């Protein structure tokens, strides 16, 4: 299965394919350039043999100090037709760059992409609503970045801000 | 309406020109029908829902960040607080991931007990979901009727792990302690008692005309939409898609036991309830196949480097004392690499994605939690329905705030 997907991607999307790293993992993975993620995911979804219809997971890894570029978006696709075979698409992103949103291919990518934006600060282009989802709106920084401190006093100013949250009776006016 | 400024601004912009007669209703964050801290802003025209939107994040504790701080056994405590209705399922999902990364084979006795506890937890979770569903629609007796049996399961967990809610069940390489002598006998009593109770519950609640009319065809989602939104578990199966991680990519001994995967048709609240109802019976079926066959043997694998030795040996033997110290101070050694492992939790596919750099703590932990994926379809599911139906839809989806926000 992995070989046939590799051959397919090499023949059709060789301009988007990046050389693979040596990772000890249980999933076959393919490194894709950010601009190629939407066409590749779409092609794998609509391919008559592979049929990766299900976006299983979407997250990011911060490789600060270990790898360049710093971030990697990790997509997990599942093919129900082929005994629920899972593959990983990995997209390297540099700090400050954005990645095309996958919402047009998989609607379910909406919230996970917002979560990645919220916790890593990686924006997704063409996303219907690229805003924080889990952290408060007035939160400063992105907690899952490796340079966000693991311990310390925390954001004291936040508690004061929390006391002055919006309390309009009717926000429509 | 209590809201953060930017969120309020967003909603203010969105609903700036509210048509005449339309009303903005705020369900949550602390609303009896939401069973947890989550919020829905719903625009209604009379009784009809025109637009809905969810605001989540009120219970966010950033366990993924804590996972980079805690070692592999310590993170187990965080998994307790994800889906707090069926904690052992989360514990087992995490422990299996770490064991797969370390390539540990646990004794058969451990796998049997883990499977039995998994299915008991699933039973517990579905009892809550279906029972509370009745409560939300105004039927209290069914809930109380089954809750008595749920309490019995809790007592087993209490004897087995010492805690009721935050069980912290299992350790890497086995279990914290062996099962107690009457374990099998007590579980047999429970499964025997719960079977007629389930039938009575079905007669009492699900065959009730009012309940049927309140839930049939309500909050439905088509199979294509459910797949596109990343649904999994009972909510996906209610839409007619027979996917179950236990069948598709079996783990533990799920390929060795017989059970059926119940499937619904239209993905409505009624079908979700029915699928959960049938799954409870399948849980009992799996437990009955396993309970008599628990093999004798040790309750953990022979792993002095990663499994904490028993306390009496730590206090009396030099070697065990050293191992105890090494494990506590340096943690367990997980080889560098990545792993994604999925288990079927009560709400669907619970996946753990772990990146290890060979250190004491993981480099990155990510939890693929089923609630987070399917709850984003909620606005679409309630649009066009009645306001009262949103309550039925939300209850039948079994949204657990702890799992949603993680």
- Kindly report the backbone phi and psi dihedral angles of residue B193, in degrees, each rounded to the nearest multiple of 5, phi listed first: -75, -30
A155: contact with B, CB 8 A cutoff: no
Per-residue pLDDT, B350: 93
Q: Among B102, B230, B236, which would you mutate to test the A interface (most chain A Cβ atoms within 10 Å of its Cβ)? A: B230
Report the residue of chain B nearest A23, measured CA to CA: B337
Assess A62–B contact: CB distance below 8 Å, yes or no.
yes
- The Cα–Cα gap between A155 and A152 comes to 9
Q: Give the tokens for residue B12.
A: 């203010």
As a whole number, mean pLDDT of residues B328-339 equals 91
Q: Quickly count helices (H) and strands (E) in chain A.
A: 4, 7
Contact A56 B24 (CB under 8 A): no
Tell me the per-residue pLDDT of B153-166, one tens digit each, with 9 for 90 and over: 999 999 999 999 99
Over residues B107-149, the pLDDT tens digits come to 999 999 999 999 999 999 999 999 988 888 888 888 888 888 9
Q: A137 and B5: CB-CB below 8 Å?
A: yes
Report the pLDDT value the prediction gives residue A167, as an integer from 0 to 100. 47
Indicate if the pLDDT at residue A171 is higher than 80: no
Read off the pLDDT band of A30 (50, 70, 90): very high
When pLDDT is averaged across residues B174-199 and rounded to a whole number, the result is: 92
Please report which confidence band the pLDDT of residue B377 belongs to, taking 50, 70 and 90 as the band edges. very high
Q: Could B56 and A24 be called an inter-chain contact, meaning their C-beta atoms sit closer than 8 Å?
A: no
State whether residue A171 sits within 8 Å of chain B by CB.
yes
**Site from B232, B340, B365, B375 to mutate, A interface, most A CB atoms within 10 angstroms:** B340
A136 contacts chain B (CB < 8 A): yes
Mutation target among A1, A46, A54 for the B interface, most CBs of B within 10 A:
A54
For B106, phi then psi, to 5°, come to: -95, 155
Beta strands A99-100 and B337-345: pairing type?
unpaired
Q: With an 8 Å Cβ cutoff, are B228 and A84 in contact?
A: no
Confidence of residue A162 (pLDDT cuts 50, 70, 90): low
- Which comes out higher in pLDDT, residue B5 or B368? B368
* Closest CB to A138 among B4, B15, B56: B4
Residue A86 contacts B, CB cutoff 8 Å: yes
B68 in reach of chain A (CB within 8 A): yes
Indicate the residue of B65, B228, B243 with minimum beta-carbon distance to A106: B228
Tokens coding B264 = 């619904």
Strand B348-356 to B364-368 pairing: antiparallel
Q: Is B127 helix (H, G, I), strand (E, B) or coil?
A: helix
Interface with chain B: mutation pick from A74, A134, A146, A163, highest number of B CBs within 10 Å: A134
Query: Would an 8 Å CB–CB cutoff place A79 in contact with chain B?
Result: no
CB pairs under 8 A between A and B: 136
**Is beta strand A85-93 parallel, antiparallel or unpaired with respect to B364-368?**
unpaired
Residues of A in Cβ contact (< 8 Å) with B2: 165-167
Average pLDDT, chain B: 90
Query: Which residue of B23, B26, B58, B228 to mutate against A (max A Cβ within 10 Å)?
Result: B228
Residue of A nearest to B365 (CA): A61
pLDDT cut 90: percent of chain A above it: 50
- Residues in Cβ contact with B60 at an 8 Å cutoff, skipping those fewer than 6 apart: A134, A135, B405, B406
Asked if B229's CB is within 8 angstroms of A107's CB, the reply is yes
Please tell me the distance from the alpha carbon of residue B129 to that of residue B83, in angstroms, as a whole number: 12
Helix extents (H) in A13-155:
37-46, 110-120
pLDDT at B317: 92
The per-residue pLDDT for B375 is: 92
Asked if A130 has any chain B CB less than 8 Å from its own CB, the reply is: no
pLDDT tens by residue, A44-94: 999 999 899 999 999 999 998 888 889 999 999 999 999 899 999 999 999
The reply to whether residue A134 touches residue B6, judged by beta carbons under 8 angstroms, is: no
Q: Which residue has the tokens 């199979």?
A: B223
CA distance A7 to chain B (A): 24
Q: Which residues of B fall within a CB distance of 8 Å from A149? A: none
Question: How much is the pLDDT for B49?
Answer: 92
Rounded Cα distance, B259 and B256, in Å:
10
Q: Which residue in the set B60, B337, B372 is minimally distant from A24, CB to CB?
A: B337
Highest averaged pLDDT of the listed ranges A144-153, B23-32, B54-63, B228-237: B228-237
- Residue B178 in contact with partner chain A when CB distance is under 8 A: no
Structure tokens at A61: 């890894």
- Output the pLDDT for position A173: 44
Q: What is the reported pLDDT for B11?
A: 78
What is the model's pLDDT at position A166?
A: 47
Chain B residue nearest residue A119, CA to CA: B62
Note whether A99 and B221 are within 8 A (CB).
no
Q: Find the CB nearest A134 among B7, B16, B405.
A: B405
Q: How confident is the model at residue A31 (pLDDT cuts 50, 70, 90)?
A: very high
**Does A148 contact B376 at a Cβ distance shorter than 8 Å?**
no
Of A57, A83, A133, the CB nearest to B351: A57
Tell me what pLDDT residue A141 has.
85
Helix axes B387-397, B269-291, angle to 10 degrees: 20
Phi-psi label, residue B304: left if phi above 0, alpha if psi -120 to 50, beta otherwise = alpha
Mean per-residue pLDDT, A96-118: 93
Instruction: Please compute the mean of the pLDDT values over residues B223-251 and round it to a whole number.
Output: 92
Q: Examine the pLDDT at B30 and tell me if it is beyond 50.
A: yes
Task: Give the confidence band of A155 by pLDDT, cuts at 50, 70, 90.
Answer: low
Q: Which stretches of B216-317 are DSSP H helices?
A: 223-228, 234-237, 245-248, 269-291, 311-316
Average pLDDT over residues B5-11: 73
Residues 194-253 of B with CB under 8 A from A: 225, 227-230, 243, 248-249
């Amino acid at each position: 299965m992995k070989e046939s997907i590799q051959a397919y991607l090499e023949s059709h999307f060789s301009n988007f394919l990046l050389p693979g790293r040596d990772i000890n993992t249980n999933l076959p993975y393919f490194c894709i350039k950010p601009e190629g993620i939407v066409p590749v995911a779409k092609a794998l979804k609509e391919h008559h043999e592979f049929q990766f219809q299900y976006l299983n997971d979407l997250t990011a890894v911060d490789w600060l100090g270990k790898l360049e570029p710093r971030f990697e978006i990790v997509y997990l696709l599942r093919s129900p037709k082929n005994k629920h075979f899972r593959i990983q698409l990995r997209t390297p992103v540099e700090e400050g760059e954005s990645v095309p949103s996958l919402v047009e291919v998989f609607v379910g990518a909406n919230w996970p992409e917002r979560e990645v934006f919220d916790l890593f600060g990686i924006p997704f282009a063409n996303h219907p609503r690229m805003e924080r989802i889990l952290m408060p709106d007035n939160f400063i920084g992105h907690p899952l970045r490796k340079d966000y401190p693991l311990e310390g006093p925390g954001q004291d100013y936040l508690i004061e801000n929390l006391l002055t949250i919006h309390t309009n009776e009717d926000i429509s006016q | 309406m209590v809201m953060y400024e930017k969120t309020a601004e967003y909603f203010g912009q969105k609903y700036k020109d509210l048509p005449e007669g339309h009303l903005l209703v705020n369900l949550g964050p602390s609303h009896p029908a939401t069973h947890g801290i989550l919020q829905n802003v719903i625009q209604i025209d009379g009784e009809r829902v025109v637009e809905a939107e969810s605001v989540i994040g009120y219970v966010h504790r950033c366990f993924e960040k804590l996972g980079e701080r805690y070692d592999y056994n310590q993170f187990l405590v965080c998994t307790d607080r994800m889906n707090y209705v069926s904690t052992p399922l989360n514990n087992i999902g995490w422990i299996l991931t770490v064991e797969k990364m370390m390539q540990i084979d646990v004794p058969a006795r451990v796998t049997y007990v883990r499977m039995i506890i998994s299915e008991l937890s699933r039973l517990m979770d579905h009892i809550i979901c279906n029972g509370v569903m009745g409560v939300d629609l105004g039927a209290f007796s069914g809930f109380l009727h089954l809750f008595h049996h749920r309490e019995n399961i809790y007592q087993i967990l209490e004897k087995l792990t010492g805690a009721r809610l935050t069980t912290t069940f299992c350790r890497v390489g086995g279990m914290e302690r062996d099962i107690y002598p009457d374990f099998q006998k007590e579980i047999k009593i429970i499964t025997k008692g719960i079977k007629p109770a389930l039938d009575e519950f079905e007669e009492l609640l699900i065959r009730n005309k009012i309940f049927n009319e309140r839930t049939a065809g309500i909050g439905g989602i088509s199979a294509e939409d459910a797949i596109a939104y990343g649904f999994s578990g009972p909510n996906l199966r209610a839409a007619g898609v027979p996917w179950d991680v236990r069948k598709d990519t079996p783990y533990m001994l799920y390929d060795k036991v017989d059970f059926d995967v119940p499937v619904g048709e239209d993905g409505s609240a009624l079908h979700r309830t029915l699928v959960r109802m049938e799954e409870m019976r399948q849980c009992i079926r799996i437990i009955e196949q396993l309970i008599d066959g628990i093999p004798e043997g040790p309750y953990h694998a022979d792993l002095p480097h990663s499994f904490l030795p028993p306390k009496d040996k730590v206090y009396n033997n030099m070697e065990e004392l050293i191992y105890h110290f090494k494990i506590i101070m340096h943690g367990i050694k997980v080889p560098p690499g990545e792993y994604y492992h999925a288990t079927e939790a009560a709400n669907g596919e619970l996946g753990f994605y772990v990146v290890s750099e060979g250190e004491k703590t993981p480099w990155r932990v990510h939890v693929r939690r089923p609630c987070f994926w399917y709850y984003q379809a909620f606005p679409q599911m309630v649009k066009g329905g009645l306001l009262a139906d949103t309550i039925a839809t939300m209850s039948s989806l079994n949204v657990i705030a702890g799992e949603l926000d993680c």
